[in-house]
Amino acid sequence: MTTRRNVMAGGLALATTLLAPRPGHAQPVNADRVRKVQDLLSRMTLDEKIGQMHQPPGGRQKALNSRIDAAALDLVRKGGVGSYLHVAGAQFLRDLQKVAVEESRLKIPLLFAIDVVHGYRTLYPVPLAMAATFDPEAYRACARMAAVETSVAGLHWTFAPMVDVARDPRWGRVVEGSGEDAYLGSVMSVAQTEGFQTRDMAGRDTVLACVKHFGAYGAVAGGRDYDSADISDRTLHEVILPPFAAGKAAGAGSYMTAFNDIGGVPTTANAALVRGLLRDKWGFDGIVVSDWNAIAELIAHGVAETPAQAAALALKAGVDMDMAGGVYAAHLKTAVAEDPALLPLIDQAVTHILMTKARLGLFDDPYRFGDVAREKTVMVSAPHRAIARDAARKAVVLLKNDGDLLPLGKSAKVAVVGALADDARSAIGSWKARGEETDAVTLVSALKTRLPGVVYAPGAAPRSDDLSGIAAAVEAAKAADVTLLVVGEDFDHSAESRSRSDLSLPGGQKALADAILATGKPVVLLVMGGRPLAIPDLLAKAPAALMTWLLGVESGPALADILLGDASPAGRLPMGLPRASGALPETYAHYPTGRPADPDLAKDTVRYHDLDIGPVYPFGHGLSYARFAYSDLSLDKAAIGAGETVLATVTVTNTGKVTADEVVQLYMRDPVAAVARPVKELRGFHRLTLKPGESRRLTFALSARQCAFWEAGRWRIQKGRIDLMVGASSADLRSRAAFMIDADGWSDTSPAAIKTLVSES
């Protein structure tokens, strides 16, 4: 049996270990804070320790603070709560914190948390749309703006970024991530983490980032939320884990485990993944929190019979805090009675929680978050709207523009058709935190201020089968010079627990679209929503089409800027647009086969006989109002060693007539290796602005480590030829070159090394 003295020694040793500097942070926690944690740990009862591991909801997303009643305050006084989620408001949280630090025995401050997925009050584009910007600096700016508003409202902790790589848009939560590519996801993971957190977490206007959902949540079977993921170890390490490692290297202070299992092992009880990889191999020392009620759900998973067993499994796996389920609070003490060896694991968990509070400066000043005066001035302020509008413009993807139908003439007679065009609630998207519909400017509102005479006809609501409005919409289209046909999914169709087997247009929108396109008048198709849709016939018929996502409070003005030519679109698809729901999942970075897809149906190849090969528009696709030429791709060396880097330089020229952005993309292929490698993999990108006639030489750095593959528990670098391709999308590759890796080697598997890989290009 473990003695109390040995348990305490283990906890104090852990606290001392946490003094060491962490990647992504300027300084370690100071000695005074460490002594504070050590002293608290030595004086805490088991009930108080378990209380720190308990995160009850203070309300639900639509009713924040609603559960903070007299009984809740009494539990805080008893030291029975470590954190609250779904609470907000500078004054309210100051009063709640006062109970914890002035009326409880040990005066330990609370952590206040909320889901700030794409903004707190000023909502910027949903995460998948932010990934479409291919601009990490824009994402960093949005996350920083969100952190300011969140911190001013008294909150310490956001449950973002979500970095799950997802290749099946039937999964509704693709809206929260960066799409199908591990490299793009890793870059955006770093940008968000660094935006939310300052280098010193005790700095001004910082909030604790939470990288989620640790596990293979984005790889659930059939795109069904909460389902199993059964993937290879190679896929786990090469595709799923890099964005998580990048977030750790960027300094993320917390992680959240996923709901799903991987090959039968729920990630909330996966000791090899959480305690073994995240804690031991990656050296993560912040908080690991479960997802909502996930510890209790270990019983439904079939790996625990009782709540006490579920609590023990989660604790052994390395989960420090129980979100919303109350299993630790109600049953962990019973689990300890059955197995006293859990005691040192409780001390470790509590140390992680207390040290995080120390890093946030809460022991120095528990009231430093929250500012009643600033709360009234920064929310949806003009500077914050400007950040949101810039991001929204950058997120719009021009899919096609036959005959240069766009931009619209300033004197054009325009009809806007589709209920989503004036749906403020959908403009701000799912996971709206404290965003309000009245904050949003819709496309209809924005255009009416800039194009007198705009006619709006809803036609058909996004989910309704009522077709009675189509006739009026058709008449409006016939009378117009051009029709903006806005279709897609509303805010509640692309979200958690919103998996769909059919990604065609919901409700009567298909009938509306067919009727408008049948008029023969020019039509610009605008596709709203939080995921790719399977609408190949509409994309083929419309002469111009835009993927416009759910763009936030400045949705309308940003779209008007693009449509009227005040800005040129340059967004790129972070997921390909499928030809049919039955073709999913798919990815540009697929493995080659012995019988690659061939247009000749007489040949036996890897393709569907009833569909053309590949997506309608591939990963990385996006057009502009300008044209760009690529030339003079050159490498600085013909061969490199396993620890060396090659520089690839290309000239990009704006051959068009307007200033515009281009997203230059670097892909690689290892054509012959010990294991089959993907047909191409993104290894660098850069968004740049060029004036008409302007050229720029752009250099990418590609290390041998970025060519490594996972084998036998580590990254293998194999000698041989590496092909490089530079272009405007994964299918529009303009220049090619090759170099040799002249020696075998093994690459570092640390998160710091992975962050280097996603930043050095």
Give me the helix-helix angle, 307-317 and 327-338, nearest 10°: 90
Sole residue written with tokens 């389920």: 325
Question: Could you give the CA distance from residue 478 to residue 227 in angstroms, rounded to a whole number?
Answer: 47
| Burial tier of 170 (Cβ tally within 10 Å: 0-12, 13-18, 19+) | buried
Rounded CA gap, 555 and 533, in Å? 20
Long-range contacts, stretch 239-242, CB < 8 angstroms, 24+ apart: 239/165, 239/182, 240/164, 240/165, 240/182, 240/215, 240/216, 241/277, 242/182, 242/183, 242/185, 242/186, 242/754, 242/757, 242/758
H/E stretch holding 158: strand 157-158
Dihedral of CA atoms 567, 570, 576, 578 in degrees, nearest 10, equals: 30
Q: Report the C-alpha gap between 184 and 136 in whole angstroms.
A: 9
Q: Is the dihedral of CA 92, 96, 99, 101 positive or negative?
A: negative
Of the candidates 562, 568, 706, 550, which has an alpha carbon nearest to the alpha carbon of residue 640?
A: 706
Angstrom distance (rounded) from CA 24 to CA 245: 12
Of 115, 135, 261, 291, which is the active-site residue? 291
In one-letter notation, the amino acid at residue 372 is V
Locus of tokens 């005479």: 453
Q: Is 723 a catalytic residue?
A: no
- Give the contacts of 713 (CB within 8 A, at least 6 positions apart): none
What span, in angstroms and rounded, lies between the C-alpha atoms of 642 and 718? Answer: 8
The one-letter amino acid code at 719 reads K
| CA atoms of 455 and 432, how far apart (whole Å) | 30
Amino acid at the residue 78: K
Neighbouring residues of 252: CB distance < 8 A, sequence distance ≥ 6: 24, 193, 197, 209, 210, 211, 286
Do 189 and 243 form a contact (C-beta atoms < 8 A)? yes
* Residue located via tokens 């852990």: 14
Max Cα separation, the chain?
A: 84
The two three-digit tokens of residue 187, written as one number? 């870059």
Q: Is the peptide bond before 590 cis (omega within 30 degrees of 0)?
A: no
Tokens of 453: 């005479």
> Which positions are annotated as active-site residues?
291
